[in-house]
């Protein structure tokens, strides 16, 4: 992965951190709009979804930080993927998650979600989801 791609993703994510709770809410709203069949895989209470959103943003923060050392990040992604199988996540869900993530970043970053940033996130998510899908399925 190119250093510039990593820098674009890491720098743009720094702008998302201050709005992490809102970003998580945007993400799950977009995810369930894209595929309402995913909703039963998640907790039904608002409080539990806030906790889920915190987990999402923490995981994203760790993954984005880990891009600087991909060799260390890959085993973490593989382990995460295997756990997601137990949650009934299927390989095709990764495309929906990627679309929801890009939509969330676009909404959260506004004008800072440039075509270059979008391409960087698309590339990074592609690598991460490929590693996870390969490990799980």
All domains of the chain, ordered by start, with CATH? Answer: 3-136 (1.10.490.10)
pLDDT of the residue at 24: 97
Q: How far apart are CA 118 and CA 120, in angstroms?
A: 5
Query: 34-92 pLDDT, tens per residue?
Result: 999 999 999 889 999 999 999 999 999 999 999 999 999 999 999 999 999 999 999 99
Average pLDDT over all residues of the chain: 96
Q: How far apart are CA 88 and CA 36, in angstroms?
A: 15
Q: What is the DSSP string of 67-89?
A: GGGHHHHHHHHHHHHHHHHHTT-
pLDDT of the residue at 133: 97
- Whether residue 60 contacts residue 13, with contact meaning beta carbons closer than 8 Å, is answered with yes
Q: How far apart are CA 56 and CA 23, in angstroms?
A: 10
Q: How far apart are CA 99 and CA 27, in angstroms?
A: 9
């Amino acid at each position: 992965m190119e250093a510039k791609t990593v820098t674009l993703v890491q720098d743009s994510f720094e702008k998302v951190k201050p709005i992490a709770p809102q970003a998580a809410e945007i993400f799950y709203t977009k995810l369930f709009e894209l595929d309402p069949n995913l909703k039963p895989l998640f907790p039904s209470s608002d409080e539990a979804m806030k906790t889920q959103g915190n987990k999402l943003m923490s995981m994203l923060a760790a993954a984005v930080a880990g891009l600087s050392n991909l060799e260390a990040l890959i085993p973490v992604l593989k382990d995460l993927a295997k756990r997601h199988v137990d949650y009934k996540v299927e390989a095709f869900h990764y495309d929906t998650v990627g679309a929801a993530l890009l939509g969330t970043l676009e909404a959260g970053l506004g004008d800072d979600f440039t075509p270059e940033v979008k391409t960087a996130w698309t590339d990074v998510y592609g690598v991460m989801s490929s590693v996870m899908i390969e490990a799980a399925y």
